[in-house]
Chain A
Amino acid sequence: MAAGPAGPVPPGGDDAAMGGAPAGGVDAAARRVRGRPVLGRLIRNAAVLAGGAVVVFWIFAALEWRVITPYDPFAVGPAHPLASPSRVHWLGTDDLGRDVLSRVLAGAAPGLTIAPAATLLSLLGGTTIGLVAGFHRGLVDDVLMRLVDAVMSLPVIIPATVVLALVGRSTTNVILAIAVLFSPLVARTVRSAVLVEREREYVDAARLRGDRSLYIMFFEILPNVTSPLIVEGTVRLGYAVFTAGTLSFLQLGIQPPSPDWGLTVAVERAFVQIAPWTVLAPALALASLIIGVNLAADGVRRALAE
C-alpha cells in the first residue's frame, strides 16, 4: 500500500523544499499523475455523470430522433394547431400543427453542430495568439493584447449582432462570429499559462542547447499548457451553446423552418399565453443542455486539478 501519489510510486526520495510537508497539508510529493486515477475521480462525481448523461442524450436525440418519434418535425398539420399535450402528442403541437416533441428532439442538432465547431476554432485561434503573445512579449505582446482587449470590450452579443445583421445570417457566419469573439478569452488564458512556463528553467535549458524559438513555443511550452486549455475549452463549449441559442432567438442565425430551440422560442413567443408548452419545451431543453455541458466541464476541471 503506497500512499504516495496515486499511480506509479516514485522510487522513494526527497522532494523539492527541504522542509518537509508544508502546512497546506499534503506533502510536496503529491504530484499530478495522468492516467486512470483521473478517470476514477471523474466517475465518482455524480453531478458530472448526470451532466454527461444529459449531453449524451441530446447528441443521441440530434442524430437519432427518428427512432424516438414517429412524427416529422417539418410536417405541417393544420388540423390540430396549438393542441395541448396529450397521449397522441406528448408535448402538444405548435401553431402550425407540428409535433412539439419531435421538433425539440430534432432541434438539438443545430446547437450541437455550431457550438463544438465554434469552440474548436476559437481554441485554435486563441491558442496561437496567446502562445505568440506570451512567448515573445514586448511589442508583439502589447499589440496583440490591445487587440484582444478591444474585441473583449464589447459584450459578445453586440459584435455578433452587428456582423450577422450586416453581413448575412447563416449557420457558417454564426460559427465564425462566435469563434472570432471567443478567441480573445482563450488567448488570455493561454497567455497567462505561457507567461508562467516561459520563466521555467527547462525553457532556458532548451535555449542553451540551441533550440530555436519556434520549436520551444510549440514543443516545449505548448504541451504544458494543455491542461488549462482543456478546461477553458470545456467552459467555452457551454458558452458557445448559450450564445448560439441566444443568436437564433434573435433570429440572426439559422432561419425557419428549422426546429432550432432558440428560434422556436422566438417564433412561438407570441402564443405564450395560450400555449406555453410550445415555448417552455425548447427553452428548458436548451437550458438542460447548457447545464449538462457545464456540469461535465466542472467535473473535467476538478479531475485535472487533482
Chain B
Amino acid sequence: MARFLLRRLGLVLPALWLVSVLIFALAEIVPGDVARTILGPYATPDQAAALRHQLGADRPVPVRYAAWLGSFVIGRWGDSMVLHRPVRPFVLARLGNSLTLAAIALVCVVPISLGLGVVAGLNEDRPVDTAISLIGLSLTAIPEFVSGVIVLVVFGVQLGWFPIIAQPPPGAGPVERIHDLLLPSIPLMLVLFGYIARMARAGMVEVMASDYIRTAVLKGLPLRYVIVRHALRNALLPTITVIGSQVGWLVGGLVVVETLFTYPGLGKLIYDSAVGHDVPVLEATALLVAAIFMLSNLTADLLVAMLNPRVRYSD
C-alpha cells in the first residue's frame, strides 16, 4: 500500500510542477509586456521600465519563475495588483465559499445519482433504464448558465422562494446557509447527476454480467443479498474515481454559476483576475485549484485501492 501511495505521488508531483510552469507561462509570458498591459498604450518607456522593475518583471524568466514558485510554496502569495491587499487571506476565504457550495451539491446529488444509476443498471434496456439514462444524458448536456438562468427565473424571480443573490449573511446557521445556496447548487447537481449515474449504471451492468455474480446466483443466494453484498461494492468503485475527478471543477470551475448568482467563489475570482490582469491573484488561485484537483484525484485513487483487495493485498 505504501508503495502504491509513493508511486502515485511520484506521478502527481511532476504533473503539478508542469502545471505551475504552464500557469506561469500563461500569466506572465504569453500576454507580453506586463507593464504595458497595466499602464496602457500611452505610457512612456520610462514609466513602463520603472513599473517593470518594481514588479520584478525585468529579471530573467527562470529566476522569476523560481521566485514565484518558492514563495507560493511557503505561503507568501504576494499582493493583489488591483486591490492592493495580500492575496492569501481572501483567496482562502473564497476557497471556503467554493468548498461549501461544492459540499452542498455533492451531498445532495451523490446519493440520488448512485441510487438511480444502480437501478438503471439492474434493469438494463428496460424502460426504467432508458428513462434514467436519457434523462441523465440530457441533464448533463445543459450548460450551467442555461439551467442556472431557468432556475433563477422560476424559483428566484417568479416564485420568490429563494434569494437570487447567494450570499448568506455572516452569522447564518447551516440550515439558512443551505437554503440560500440551494439555487446555485442546482445547476451543478444537474450536471453531476449525468456523470455519476452513468458511471454507476455502467459499473452495475458490467458486474451483473460477470462470472462471479453467476456463481453467487447459482449458489442459491437471494437476489437482494447478491446485489448488496456481491455486486454493489465492485460496481461502485469506478464512481469514486469519477466523483474525485469532479471536485476540481466544483471548486474552481464554477465561473458561470458564481457570476449568475453573484457568489464569491474561486471561479469568479479567476475570471476577474484574468480579465483585470491581476497576475498574482490569478497565479495563486490557478495553482491552488490545480493542487486541489490532484489531491482529490489522489484521494479517490487511494480510496479505490483500499477497497480493492487486489491492490491492497498485492504481493
Which listed residue (A147, A157, A294) contacts B267, Cβ 8 A? A157
Main secondary structure of the interface of A (DSSP, over half): helix
Q: Of all chain A residues, which has the CB nearest B253?
A: A155
Contact A291 B145 (CB under 8 A): no
Q: How far is the CA of A161 from the CA of B268 in the complex (A)?
A: 10
A150, B211: Cβ atoms closer than 8 Å = no
Provide the residues of chain B in CB contact with A262, threshold 8 Å.
143, 145
Q: How far is the CB of B262 from chain A (nearest CB, A)?
A: 12
Check A67 for interface membership: any CB of B closer than 8 A. Answer: no
Question: Within 8 Å of chain A (Cβ to Cβ): is B50?
Answer: no
Residues on the A chain within 8 Å of B180, using CB: none
Interface string of B133-171 (1 = CB under 8 A from A): 110011011111111011011000100000000000000
**0 or 1 for each of A160-203: is its CB under 8 Å from B? (1 = yes):** 01110111000000000000000000000000000000000000
A167 and B271: CB pair below 8 A? Answer: no
Tell me whether A158 and B146 are in contact (CB under 8 A).
no
For the complex, is A272 an interface residue (Cβ under 8 Å from B)?
yes
Tell me the residues in window 1-58 of chain B with beta carbons closer than 8 Å to chain A beta carbons.
11-12, 14-16, 18-19, 22, 26-27, 30-31
Taking a contact as CB atoms under 8 Å apart, the answer to whether B253 and A156 are in contact is yes
> Which of B63-71, B288-296, B305-313 binds A?
B288-296
Residues of chain A at interface, number, CB under 8 A? 46
Q: Quick one: given A155-B252, A284-B146, are A146 and B138 in contact (CB under 8 Å)?
A: no
Bound complex: CA A158 to CA B290 (Å): 10
Q: Does A162 lie within 8 Å of B286, measured CB to CB?
A: yes
The interface residues of chain A lying within 8 Å CB-to-CB of B290 are 150, 153-154
> 8 Å CB contacts to B: which residues of A30-51?
47
Contacts of A246 in B (CB 8 A): 143-145, 256
Q: What is the chain B residue whose CB lies nearest that of A23?
A: B214
Number of A-B contacts (CB under 8 A): 146
Complex Cα distance, B147 from A279, in Å, reads: 11
Q: Does A250 contact B (CB under 8 A)?
A: yes
Contact B145 A153, beta carbon cutoff 8 Å: no
- Chain B residues near A290 (CB, 8 Å)? 141-143
- Do the beta carbons of B270 and A162 come within 8 Å of each other? yes
A74 at the interface (CB under 8 A from B): no
Chain B residues within 8 Å of chain A by Cβ, number: 53
Q: Which of B26, B140, B214, B255 has the most CB atoms of chain A within a 10 A radius of its CB?
A: B255
Q: Which residues of B contact A157 (CB under 8 A)?
A: 253, 255-256, 267
CB of B277 within 8 Å of the partner chain: yes
* A146–B137 alpha-carbon span in the complex (Å): 30
C-alpha gap A291/B18 in the complex (Å): 35
Residue B107 is within 8 A (CB to CB) of chain A in the complex = no
Interface residues of A in 245-294 (CB under 8 A from B): 245-246, 249-250, 262, 265-266, 269, 272-273, 276, 279-280, 283-284, 286-287, 290-291, 293-294
Contact call A286/B143, Cβ cutoff below 8 A: yes
Interface membership of B274, Cβ < 8 A: yes
| Pairs of residues from A and B, 4 with the lowest C-beta to C-beta distance, nearest first | A155-B253, A150-B18, A149-B15, A165-B274
* A residues neighboring B (CB under 8 Å): 23-24, 47, 146-147, 149-151, 153-159, 161-163, 165-167, 238, 242, 245-246, 249-250, 262, 265-266, 269, 272-273, 276, 279-280, 283-284, 286-287, 290-291, 293-295, 298
The 12 listed contacts between A and B (C-beta, < 8 Å) are A47-B130, A150-B290, A161-B274, A162-B274, A162-B286, A165-B274, A250-B255, A262-B143, A279-B153, A291-B141, A294-B141, A295-B137
